[in-house]
Amino acid sequence: MATKAVPAQPARRLEGYIYNTWYLAGWRSDLDTKLSSVRILDESIVVFRTEGGQWVALEDLCPHKLAPLSLGDRIGDCLRCRYHGLKFAGDGRCVEIPGQSVVSAAVRVRTYPIVEKHGGIWIWMGASERSDESEVPDIIGEGDSGWRLHSASIDVNGSAQLLWDNLLDLSHIPFVHFNTLVAGDQAAAAAVLAGEVNKDSIVHDRGITVERWHSHQRRPAQVGDDRPLDEHIVTDFFAPGVLAIRFQTYDAGICDKYPSGEIPDEKRLLSSFACQVVTPVTETTCKIFYNVGSWDKSPPDPTLGVANDKAIVEDKQIIEAQQGAMRANPGRKPMMLSMDQNVVRFKAIMRRLTAQEADFAAVAD
Ligand code: FES
Ligand SMILES: [Fe+2]
């Protein structure tokens, strides 16, 4: 009986996104023990770990009668479909059809390159032959030695592209996060705004690095007393939607004491890191994987994770409201102001990257 070969590429590509890149499917601790169904760029993928410890990502669709494979069971290094029991190996080949002695090589499912790094499981959504493990985003995650991190994720009923805008313009902090990240302190909120206005931006091939100070912040529990703090913050935001933030915290006034900008290491009270990795789920929904933590030698800071969890929910709420308002007003276009400089720059980067991908695809065809 004739069977169709499995297409290597999706039938429909989401506009504005790149495919030849790694997307975070989940933190390892979320995916470790089970057969998980994840959705990335509107494609359903079943992720599991073989008995031998290899990660596998297959299209979550049995080629027989199109039942989701994620409903099935892992049998050793294979996955058995729950409906009629077809068994698939990690390379996508069907290795057993109950009641049938011959298995055609055409009975197979699409596989995706998958890799574990920085405590996360990353899936390459484009052409397999172009996948390159060295291109996994350079974040700090669970398992990277020296860091104590709190990791979590949240579903957002809004597009990944709205999240990009949010993460590229932190001037929303004094408003959206007034009661969390700036602890309800008007002077601290004003200082954050001043830092965001006076930031230095460097545009790279795939993203933007921004450096700024947030002075006179008040986070009483952060270092065990209520001294005001100055924070030096470097953010890297890069395709396909990863924000990595490195914080160095000092007693307030440190810049006046060291006008050269070369501050001795021993003056630092805390080194911390946070990241937000945005994975597009569908055209209008996404998932944020995030973590936050401090360098081992810094004093323990239990407030970091709590404040971060609350702040992420605040972002989710404003993005979901924004997505709803945009849906209700389809003819209206957002306005770009000076605070949106990096938003505009990043959109140009993404236009270039998506156009380059279209060129590669045209050559491959
Ligand atoms: S649908 Fe999977 S075995 Fe029939
Ligand atoms: Fe935010």
| pLDDT surpasses 60 at 227 | yes
The answer, yes or no, to whether residue 275 has pLDDT greater than 80, is: yes
135-145 per-position pLDDT tens digit: 999 999 887 77
CB 45 within 8 A of CB 60: yes
**pLDDT tens-digit readout, 233-243:** 999 999 999 99
- Whole-number pLDDT of residue 299: 61
Report the pocket of ligand 1 as residue ranges, CB < 6 Å. 62, 64-65, 67, 81, 83-86
- Positive/negative CA dihedral, 224, 229, 232, 235: positive
pLDDT value at position 5? 47
Which of 1, 59, 60, 65, when mutated, tests ligand 1's pocket best, judged by the most ligand atoms within 8 Å of its CB? 65
pLDDT band at 171 (very low <50, low <70, confident <90, very high): very high
Tell which atom from ligand 1 comes closest to the C-alpha of 67: 1
Helix residue ranges per DSSP H, 169-293: 173-176, 186-197, 254-257
Q: What is the mean pLDDT of residues 13-34?
A: 92
- Continuous H helices in the chain: 28-31, 160-168, 173-176, 186-197, 254-257, 303-328, 341-364
User: Which is the closest atom of ligand 1 to the Cα of 85?
Assistant: 3
| 269 or 344: which leads in pLDDT | 344
Q: At what angle do helices 341-364 and 160-168 cross, to 10 degrees?
A: 140
Distance 327 CA to ligand 2 centre (A): 21
Looking from the CA of residue 62, the nearest atom of ligand 1 is 2
Question: Residues near 252 by Cβ (< 8 Å), separated by ≥ 6?
Answer: 215, 216, 227, 228, 229, 230
* pLDDT tens track for 302-352: 677 788 899 999 999 999 999 999 999 999 999 999 999 999 999 999 999
What mean pLDDT is reported for the chain?
Answer: 90
Judged against a pLDDT cut of 90, whether residue 364 lies above it is answered with no
Q: Is the pLDDT score of 147 beyond 80? A: yes
Give the residue whose CA is nearest to atom 3 of ligand 1. 84
Amino acid 265: pLDDT: 87
Question: Of the candidates 32, 30, 56, 58, which has an alpha carbon nearest to the alpha carbon of residue 277?
Answer: 30
Distance 61 CA to ligand 1 centre (A): 9
Q: How far is the CA of 177 from the centre of ligand 2 (A)?
A: 7
**Mutate which of 6, 69, 78, 81 for ligand 1 pocket (most atoms within 8 A of beta carbon):** 81
* DSSP SS3 for 138: coil
For residue 300, pLDDT over 80 is answered with no
For 40-70, b where at least 16 C-beta lie within 10 A, e where not — what string? bbebebbbbbbeeeebbbbbbbbbeeebbbb
In which band, very low, low, confident or very high, does the pLDDT at 232 lie, cut at 50, 70 and 90?
very high
> How far apart are alpha carbons 60 and 282 in whole angstroms?
15
Which single residue is written with the structure tokens 């401090």? 294
Each residue's pLDDT tens digit, 37-89? 999 999 999 999 999 999 999 999 999 999 999 999 999 999 999 999 999 99
Best of 83, 88, 95, 100 to mutate for ligand 1, by most ligand atoms within 8 A of CB?
Answer: 83
- pLDDT at 220 > cutoff 60: no
* Gap from CA of 126 to ligand 1 centroid (Å): 26
134 Cα to the center of ligand 2, angstroms: 29
